[in-house]
């Protein structure tokens, strides 16, 4: 019988955990779903832009996502392929949800960056790429929508280097472009793959026909002009392109590049198989007790996401845990670092969107959902009681938009408070109370404006509470402290009336101001006052 160390080594080698990042509409959710299709996790793919009467993408479970055709939460999906366990975290593409995306990127070992062949590198992709770069994780590039007119592949390679500062190595090369995409040339295997006709409009897996490079049959199929153009490109890549360097890939300095079309299933299977071959296994993580290796026999993990009402019928709340080391067993008791208490981990679940499965065991790299009675917070460490430590804190995003929010019907205040507190614990919003204004309303801070729309929608649909919302003129929040630690009240602060004095959820004093000039005046007239963009015990993203 295998020892725990041997069991861990075997299971860690099978794990691949990655996030998909892109600008909105580059095809992120579609690619996620097609990977599930090829992994056998689903048998008929739906389209993200489907009408209400048709299928919706399996990874978009929240009603507002189905209606709007955008992802506003990070989906957590698992499937097996060819003996490997794949954990995909599909992140929000919309820029207002960058905080949720940032936390997701803390829980993965690599990232897949989708580039729209027609648009190239877009604004949100640049932001998310920077986070991946900061973490030093490998980045794999999937150039999508090759079934449409787009930029030349060589131009896209230049764009990756010039805009993102990362070198690229095409693992395959498209045959035919601008809507005549026929297949790919596999550089490593030196062979041609032509895709069969798509009779199911991308709803079922698509087979490819493989030809050796010397076989004239593929030239007959694509035409001599297309074949000649491919030979020219191959020669150019060989003479002027990058060498493949596995160490540079692992360091996030060289991105393996793939070409395809997620909507029509062109190149999806090629990408999946090469990704599994090249992507890293679960990585070590820094803690207060040094580096925690994944094959450490003692269990550890951390909460990177909290989601309320994944099943509205049960009003439940789930904490998503990334397992960092050791073996997870159902009903095990672990030490919860923030509270210092032992917690029993009952009913652990894994996901295909709303389809849940109770599991008995899980290993490093896996994502597990746990029912949360209100105990867990974002970034919480869970570990074996015999080896107590704390993983490094998640960074915090300073809020940039503010609104006063209250229940329309005062009789529904209880549901309103419960809803707004749960959504705050998810990390979607930051909650403040105005000093002296009573408890009938809250000040809500967000990174972007779309979060207010989601807040209003979810309070109405999940908590049966309609709200009034008044946007506030503030653009900046500053946490306040005096060096001697004394309590701060509005009376202690010269110029407090130039902003709004509030407390955050932990009772820390915060001043909301509407411009840099007001902030400068307050700083000048309170020389011993310390001002932080985030709480003083946290670090800024």
- Which CATH number fits the domain that encloses residue 226? 3.40.50.300
Q: What is the pLDDT of residues 133-173, one digit of tens each?
A: 888 899 999 999 988 888 999 999 999 999 999 999 999 99
Q: Does residue 8 fall inside a structural domain? A: no
Q: How far apart are CA 193 and CA 277, in angstroms?
A: 19
Read off the pLDDT band of 7 (50, 70, 90): very high
Do residues 266 and 294 share a domain?
no
Do residues 300 and 250 share a domain?
no
Q: How many domains does the chain have?
A: 3
Could you list the residue range(s) of the whole structural domain that residue 338 is in?
285-383
59 against 184, higher pLDDT: 184
Boundary residue ending a domain (256, 278, 300): 278
- What CATH number corresponds to the domain at position 294? 2.40.30.10
Tokens at 206, concatenated: 């698509």
Q: Does residue 155 fall inside a structural domain? A: yes
Give the pLDDT of residue 98: 63
Q: Does residue 6 fall inside a structural domain? A: no
Boundary residue ending a domain (320, 354, 383): 383
Q: Does residue 538 fall inside a structural domain? A: no
Do residues 413 and 443 share a domain?
yes
Q: What is the pLDDT of residues 30-58, one digit of tens each?
A: 888 888 888 876 655 443 333 333 455 65
The answer to whether the pTM exceeds 0.75 is: yes
Do residues 270 and 289 share a domain?
no
Q: What is the pLDDT of residues 426-443, one digit of tens each?
A: 887 899 999 877 777 899
Among 458, 450, 472, 480, CA closest to 93: 450
Give the pLDDT of residue 353: 47
pLDDT at 404 over 60: yes
Boundary residue ending a domain (355, 383, 411): 383
Tokens at 246, concatenated: 């596995």
Do residues 331 and 261 share a domain?
no
Give the pLDDT of residue 56: 56
Q: Does residue 61 fall inside a structural domain? A: yes
Rg (CA), the chain: 25
Read off the pLDDT band of 70 (50, 70, 90): very low
Do residues 69 and 177 share a domain?
yes
Do residues 79 and 219 share a domain?
yes
Cβ atoms 57, 36 nearer than 8 A: no
275 against 372, higher pLDDT: 275
Kindly state the DSSP code that residue 146 receives in the 8-state scheme. Answer: T
Mean pLDDT of the chain: 86
Q: What is the pLDDT of residues 279-324, one digit of tens each?
A: 999 999 999 999 999 999 999 999 998 887 666 666 678 899 999 9
Do residues 313 and 441 share a domain?
no
Quickly list DSSP for 7-58: HHHHHHHHEEEEEEE-STTSSHHHHHHHHHHHTTS-SS---TT--TTS---T
- What CATH number corresponds to the domain at position 435? 3.30.70.3280
Mean pLDDT of 66-74: 48
Q: Does residue 540 fall inside a structural domain? A: no
Do residues 329 and 453 share a domain?
no
Cβ atoms 326, 344 nearer than 8 A: no
**Phi and psi torsions of 300, nearest 5°:** -155, 155
Do residues 226 and 347 share a domain?
no
Q: Does residue 366 fall inside a structural domain? A: yes
């Amino acid at each position: 019988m295998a020892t725990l160390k041997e069991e861990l080594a075997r299971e860690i080698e099978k794990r691949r955990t990655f996030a998909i990042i892109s600008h909105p509409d580059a095809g992120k959710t579609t690619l996620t779903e097609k990977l599930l299709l090829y992994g056998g996790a689903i048998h008929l793919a739906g389209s993200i832009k489907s009408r209400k009467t048709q299928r919706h993408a399996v990874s978009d479970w929240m009603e507002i996502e189905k209606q709007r055709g955008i992802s506003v939460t990070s989906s957590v999906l698992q499937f097996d392929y060819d003996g490997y366990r794949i954990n995909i975290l599909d992140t929000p593409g919309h820029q207002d949800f960058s905080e949720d995306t940032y936390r997701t990127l803390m829980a993965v070992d690599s990232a897949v960056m989708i580039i729209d062949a027609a648009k190239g590198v877009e604004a949100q992709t640049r932001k998310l790429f920077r986070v991946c770069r900061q973490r030093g994780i490998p980045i794999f590039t999937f150039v999508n929508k090759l079934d449409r007119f787009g930029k030349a592949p060589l131009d896209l390679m230049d764009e990756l280097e010039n805009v993102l500062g990362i070198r690229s190595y095409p693992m395959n090369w498209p045959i035919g472009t601008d809507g005549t995409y026929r297949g790919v040339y596999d550089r490593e295997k030196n062979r041609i793959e032509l895709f069969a006709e798509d009779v199911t409009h991308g709803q079922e897996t698509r087979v490819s026909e493989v030809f050796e490079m010397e076989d004239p049959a593929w030239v007959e199929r694509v035409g001599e002009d297309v074949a000649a153009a491919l030979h020219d490109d191959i020669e150019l890549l060989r003479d002027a392109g990058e060498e493949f360097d596995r160490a540079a890939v692992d360091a996030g300095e060289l991105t393996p590049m793939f070409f395809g079309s997620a909507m029509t299933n062109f190149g999806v299977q090629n990408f999946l198989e090469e990704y599994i071959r090249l992507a890293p296994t679960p990585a070590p993580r820094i803690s207060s007790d040094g580096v925690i290796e994944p094959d450490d026999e003692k269990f550890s993990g951390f909460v990177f996401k909290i989601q309320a009402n994944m099943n509205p019928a049960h009003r439940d709340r789930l904490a998503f845990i990334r397992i960092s080391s050791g073996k997870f067993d159902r009903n095990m008791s672990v030490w919860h670092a923030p509270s210092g208490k032992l917690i029993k981990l009952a009913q652990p679940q894994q996901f295909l969107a709303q389809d849940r499965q109770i599991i008995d065991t899980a290993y490093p790299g896996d994502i597990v959902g746990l029912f949360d009675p209100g105990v867990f917070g974002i970034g919480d460490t869970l570990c074996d009681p015999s080896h107590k430590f704390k993983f490094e804190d998640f960074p915090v995003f300073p809020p940039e938009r503010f609104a006063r929010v209250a229940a329309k019907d005062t009789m529904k205040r209880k549901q309103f408070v419960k809803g707004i507190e749960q959504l705050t614990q998810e990390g979607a919003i930051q909650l403040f109370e105005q000093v002296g204004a009573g408890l009938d309303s809250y000040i809500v801070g967000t990174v972007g404006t779309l979060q207010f729309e989601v807040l209003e929608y979810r309070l109405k649909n999940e908590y049966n509470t309609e709200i009034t919302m008044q946007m506030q003129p503030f653009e900046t929040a500053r946490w306040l402290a005096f060096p001697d630690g004394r309590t701060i009240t509005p009376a202690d602060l010269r110029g407090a009336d130039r902003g709004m004095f509030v407390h955050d959820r932990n009772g820390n004093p915060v001043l909301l101001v509407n411009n840099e000039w007001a902030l400068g005046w307050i700083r000048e007239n309170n020389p011993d006052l310390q001002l932080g963009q985030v709480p003083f015990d946290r670090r800024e993203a």
